Amino acid sequence: MKIIVTGGTGYIGSHTVVELQQDGLEVVILDNLVNSNIEVLDGIEGITGIRPAFEKIDLTDRPATLDFFARHRDAKAVIHFAALKAVGESVAKPLEYYYNNLNALMNVLSGMRQYGVHNLVFSSSCTVYGQADVLPVTEQTPRHEAESPYGNTKVMSEDIIRDLMKVQSEMNSIALRYFNPIGAHPSALIGELPVGIPNNLIPYLTQTAAGIREQLSVFGDDYNTPDGSPLRDYIDVVDLAKAHVVAIHRLLEGRNKKNYEYFNIGTGHALSVLEIIQAFERATGVKVNYKIVGRRAGDIEKVWADTTFANNELGWSAKVPIEETLANAWRWQQRLGK
């Protein structure tokens, strides 16, 4: 059974391709490699023994995207990961983010509708909740106005999918709202490949531990949290990848209750930045050179998921302990070297 994976050479996409192939599904990856590397296919093949089909296509190229769907009309579902995702860059380049993320989605949906590929899993984000008034956030928690153009593309993408599903009753879609994906495959054959100076906590932390960066800045210890640093729900990337396989089966087997559903994909547990550093040191025995600095503009204080709905409806839950996730991130960093 063929599954189209857009953005499949990216961080979360590559881990998901591994889980799909290990589940016996056939994968065709579509990616323009704007934020990923073709060598990721070697890592996927190294883990699964199968080299997934790959096509280099830019999803904003509508004729090329429709031609792709025409050739893959036998696919049963699409997992749409492809998007630009750097929050800060999206503030500086809003038009590029809206153009890429929204046109890519609309071209995918057009291809699906035109060629009868009826099932979609979409990568959304907990950023749609902003700083929620009540924590943890459930799927009923109201979405807040997005803090960045990137976040807004997720809100708008969810709305585009919801509106299309209202009139295309033969189509089905699940949006997965990821919390903070971290870690790498335990084989250390695939992982996150940050370009330039990382913005996110874990790649910055592992690069500091590896001596590539001198010091990790902890952005604020004066938040209203137990140790003063912000709280997040850090989800292992392999656990996250498995949620996609479960979502695909739900759609393929017609177990979805509505033709547009959305789920929180997190662990249900909050960890502070300082707790992450401590867990990393425990897991690896490597000390992290860090200092507390001022708050980062645009950061929210705390967010974590209520995962009851995902646990009960999908029959999925996060399994990997945080120390194991951080040890995998470290193994991947060591493989990347300096």
Would you tell me which residues interact with ligand NAD (CB under 6 A)? Answer: 7, 9-13, 31-36, 58-60, 81-85, 100, 104, 123, 125, 178, 181
Q: Is 185 in the site for ligand UD1 (CB under 6 A)?
A: no
Q: Which of 177, 180, 178, 190 minimizes the C-alpha distance to 329?
A: 190
- Binding positions for ligand UD1, 302-331, rule CB under 6 A: none
> Burial letters for 61-75: b for 16+ Cβ neighbours within 10 Å, e otherwise?
eeebbeebbeebeeb
Peptide bond into 63 cis (omega under 30): no
Tokens found for residue 106: 């609309």
Choosing among ligand NAD, ligand UD1, none, which partner's interface includes residue 241 (Cβ < 5 to 8 Å by kind)?
Answer: none
Choosing among ligand NAD, ligand UD1, none, which partner's interface includes residue 9 (Cβ < 5 to 8 Å by kind)?
Answer: ligand NAD
Which residue, 234 or 282, is less far from ligand NAD as judged by CB? 234
Choosing among ligand UD1, ligand NAD, none, which partner's interface includes residue 288 (Cβ < 5 to 8 Å by kind)?
Answer: none
Tokens found for residue 94: 């809003």
Q: How far is the CB of 273 from ligand UD1 (least distance, A)?
A: 4
Which residue, 148 or 267, is less far from ligand UD1 as judged by CB? 148
Choosing among ligand NAD, ligand UD1, none, which partner's interface includes residue 58 (Cβ < 5 to 8 Å by kind)?
Answer: ligand NAD
> What string marks each residue from 122 to 151 as x (binds ligand UD1 by CB under 6 A) or -?
---x-x-------------------xx--x
Which one among 37, 103, 217, 278 touches ligand UD1, defined by CB under 6 A?
Answer: 217
Choosing among ligand UD1, ligand NAD, none, which partner's interface includes residue 230 (Cβ < 5 to 8 Å by kind)?
Answer: ligand UD1
Choosing among ligand UD1, ligand NAD, none, which partner's interface includes residue 37 (Cβ < 5 to 8 Å by kind)?
Answer: none
C-alpha–C-alpha distance, residues 252 and 93, integer Å = 38
Cβ distance 320 to 242 under 8 Å?
no
Which one among 218, 277, 283, 314 touches ligand UD1, defined by CB under 6 A?
Answer: 218
Q: So which residues are the catalytic ones?
A: 150
Choosing among ligand NAD, ligand UD1, none, which partner's interface includes residue 199 (Cβ < 5 to 8 Å by kind)?
Answer: ligand UD1
C-alpha–C-alpha distance, residues 221 and 45, integer Å = 43
Applying CB under 6 A, the span of 200-208, 236-244, 277-285, 318-326 interacting with ligand UD1 comes to 200-208
Reported as type and span, the H/E element at residue 234 is strand 234-236
Q: How far is the CB of 292 from ligand NAD (least distance, A)?
A: 23
Backbone angles phi, psi at 320, to 5 degrees: -75, 125
**DSSP bridge partners of 291:** 217
Q: How far is the CB of 267 from ligand UD1 (least distance, A)?
A: 14
Q: What is the DSSP letter of 213?
A: S
Strands 53-56 and 180-182: unpaired
Name the CA dihedral angle for 228, 233, 234, 237, rounded to a multiple of 10 degrees: -170
Reported as type and span, the H/E element at residue 120 is strand 119-125
Backbone angles phi, psi at 263, to 5 degrees: -135, 145
Q: Is 180 in the site for ligand UD1 (CB under 6 A)?
A: yes
Give whole-number Cα distances, 294 to 15, 128, 303, in Å: 34, 25, 19
Contacts of 29 (CB under 8 A, 6+ apart): 5, 6, 8, 9, 13, 17, 41, 52, 53, 54, 55
Relative orientation angle of helices 11-22 and 237-252, to the nearest 10 degrees: 60
Q: How far is the CB of 237 from ligand NAD (least distance, A)?
A: 8
Strands 234-236 and 172-178: unpaired
Report the residue number whose CB is nearest to ligand NAD.
10
Q: How far is the CB of 233 from ligand UD1 (least distance, A)?
A: 9
Q: How far is the CB of 240 from ligand NAD (least distance, A)?
A: 9
Q: Which residues bind ligand UD1 (CB under 6 A)?
A: 85, 87, 125, 127, 147-148, 151, 180, 199-201, 204, 216-219, 230, 232, 273, 296, 299-300
